[in-house]
Amino acid sequence: MAEAKIKSPQPYTRARVRSTIDWTKYDPGEFYDEIISAPGRARPATRSLVAFMRKQTIKHLVSRQQAADLAIQEMGITFTVYSEGQNIDRSWPMDIIPRIIPLQEWRVLEKGLIQRLTALNMFIDDIYNKQKILKDKVVPAEIINSSPDFLKQCIGAHPRHGVWSHICGSDLVRDGDGTVYVLEDNLRVPSGVSYMLENRAISKRVLPQLFERNSILPVADYPSQLFDMLASLSPRRVNHPEIVVMTPGIFNSAYFEHAYLAQRMGAELVEGADLVVGSDDKVYMKTIRGLAPVDVIYRRINDDFLDPEVFRPDSTLGTPGLFRAWRKGNVGLANAPGAGVADDKVIYTFVPAIIKYYLDEDPIIPNVPSFLCVNEQHRKHVLKNLATMVVKPANESGGYGMLIGPASTKKERALFTDLINKNPRNYMAQPALKLSTAPTLCGNNIEPRHLDLRPFILQGKHHYVTPGGLTRVALRKGSLVVNSSQGGGSKDTWIVDTEAG
């Protein structure tokens, strides 16, 4: 550097000014930005990131992004997309500019997430047992009775600790005024946690300086927290319960994650055909030493496919007799079958009431105002305001079958009017939020892109919340769809303690 200055100070300085990152040009407009409070001004927790980037040239950032992409490719961090009749293994898209949340704010969100999952688990346990909440008419019984996710086979079951959803991924979004809402809960087989962990590994590789200068909560603890939680579900009181991760196999979009978690926990990764239920109604796995008992199954396979004796008889992914073994308390299943009854998008609208009912507390994190199309008044409101609303089918995930009002065409709105009128129970709608943004490297520019956050919450004997979670970002300009199957990317999420030295 010194040498360059001596040789030709003028051109060097000019080139430098021109190509470093100019935050005053970055403008998120009407949206709340996670990093910048006003053009050129960092938020308190993001000061060090913004200052660091101010000293970087775009070229430098792009080369770091390339280093990250290469690392992702070589580490084989992939997700699988089903497209044009075949499965394609794609590299995981990660933007290197992190998303930052101040610790003080996070502490509140963490409490809110635990509150929410605690209440939801009490709700599920009640629904499959005494149904007090229905008798007290806090939740209408017909909503449960008409729900395809209410599994009659589960009535009367008592999983350990009264917990049905042990691993929950709740999607959080921030609106224009800065309020954080829960957009939805995923109580069945939420995925993404391995990408959260890998994103951190990558950003430590490519941005080590920032980790030195900031006090960022580590996330690497998750696999051991998961292991402990699963161990707390073991029906056998042994020191080393046999825990397995059950995957539908290599063609599942989240196979990478299944293998990853099994590896990090030191658990066996099993497929349905590796397991067998004995005449004693206990679960065994086929090993090179013969049959070995299994205590807890972290299953990453949907209820439908779990056990062909009870659910879909054509399923070749599951294990016959598994449900029976679980009902008899001979094996722990995480998450328990039937837990999906509470992440129905219609039930979602009752969650604040559910929290109040079981915990006698007000929800710490609010719900997005929601309109149930089954309710006539609500339906009218939705149909009238389609252009400003987001319409979701009650039981789909992955961002499929949605209508995003502000981005929709007249034809699409007509189609949804039809769909809603035909099957109102199946739809709910919310006003389109002004999803917050964060600076994202797009080609050779830094531009605002919309994002959400999926923290993961564990509940067994105890609770645990990942510090941060998986930030998903819509890479297309103006887009609100963050799902990786639909062109979304991701960011590392930093919970930054601004009060630490």
Partner 1 sequence: MLSRVAERVYWLGRFLERTENTARLILVRHNAILDLPREVQADWEQVLQVMGSEQHFAELGATANEKNIISYVFGERENPSSIISSLTSARENMRTTREILPSEAWERINSLYLSVARRSQKDLPQSARHAVLNNIIQACQQVTGLLSGAMNHDAAYQFVSMGRNLERADMSTRIIDSASAGLMGDSADVSPFRNVLWISVLQSLSAYQMYRLNVQRNVSPADVLKFLFQSTVFPRSVAHCLHEIETCIASLPDHKPALQVVAHVLHELNATDCSALAGESLHEFIDELQIHIEAVHHAIAKTWFRHDEK
Residues that bind partner 1 (CB under 8 A): 73-76, 245, 250, 259-260, 262-263, 267-271, 273-274, 285-290
- Tell me how far, at minimum, the Cβ of 365 lies from partner 1, in Å: 34
CA dist., res. 435 & res. 174, Å (int): 6
**The two structure tokens encoding residue 119:** 């209440």
CA dist., res. 265 & res. 242, Å (int): 11
Nearer of residues 69 and 447 to partner 1, judged by Cβ = 69
User: Hey, how many other C-beta atoms are within 10 angstroms of the C-beta on 485?
Assistant: 16
Among 385, 387, 392, smallest CA distance to 411 is for 387
Q: Which amino acid type is present at position 306?
A: L
Nearer of residues 264 and 413 to partner 1, judged by Cβ = 264
CA dist., res. 100 & res. 123, Å (int): 33
- Tell me how far, at minimum, the Cβ of 75 lies from partner 1, in Å: 6
CA dist., res. 53 & res. 25, Å (int): 13
- Tell me how far, at minimum, the Cβ of 216 lies from partner 1, in Å: 23
Tell me the angle at which helices 193-206 and 222-231 cross, rounded to the nearest 10 degrees: 160
CA dist., res. 471 & res. 200, Å (int): 11
**The two structure tokens encoding residue 177:** 């005024």
Please say whether the beta carbons of 173 and 181 come within 8 A: yes
CA dist., res. 395 & res. 28, Å (int): 33
- Tell me how far, at minimum, the Cβ of 451 lies from partner 1, in Å: 29
Helix, strand, or coil here: 279? Answer: coil
Which residues neighbour 117 within 8 Å (Cβ) at sequence distance 6 or greater? 165, 168, 170, 185, 457, 459, 463
Nearer of residues 104 and 287 to partner 1, judged by Cβ = 287
- Tell me how far, at minimum, the Cβ of 362 lies from partner 1, in Å: 43
- Tell me how far, at minimum, the Cβ of 273 lies from partner 1, in Å: 7
CA dist., res. 249 & res. 223, Å (int): 20
Helix, strand, or coil here: 87? Answer: strand
- Tell me how far, at minimum, the Cβ of 268 lies from partner 1, in Å: 6
Q: How far is CA 328 from CA 154, 296, 300, 332, in A?
A: 12, 13, 21, 10
- Tell me how far, at minimum, the Cβ of 285 lies from partner 1, in Å: 6
Nearer of residues 290 and 443 to partner 1, judged by Cβ = 290
CA dist., res. 257 & res. 198, Å (int): 10
- Tell me how far, at minimum, the Cβ of 263 lies from partner 1, in Å: 4
Residue with tokens 């030493």: 289
Per DSSP (E only), the strands in 151-203 are: 167-174, 180-186
Nearer of residues 75 and 383 to partner 1, judged by Cβ = 75
Query: b vs e for 268-303, b when ≥16 Cβ sit within 10 Å of the residue's Cβ?
Result: bbbbbebbbbeeeebbbbeeeeeeebbbbbbbbbbb
**The two structure tokens encoding residue 128:** 């499959």
Nearer of residues 77 and 373 to partner 1, judged by Cβ = 77
Nearer of residues 33 and 242 to partner 1, judged by Cβ = 242
Nearer of residues 201 and 402 to partner 1, judged by Cβ = 201
Nearer of residues 95 and 242 to partner 1, judged by Cβ = 242
- Tell me how far, at minimum, the Cβ of 186 lies from partner 1, in Å: 23
Helix, strand, or coil here: 475? Answer: coil
- Tell me how far, at minimum, the Cβ of 279 lies from partner 1, in Å: 16
Residue with tokens 């292991």: 227
Nearer of residues 9 and 266 to partner 1, judged by Cβ = 266
Q: Which amino acid type is present at position 123?
A: F
Nearer of residues 282 and 392 to partner 1, judged by Cβ = 282
- Tell me how far, at minimum, the Cβ of 310 lies from partner 1, in Å: 23
Nearer of residues 167 and 262 to partner 1, judged by Cβ = 262
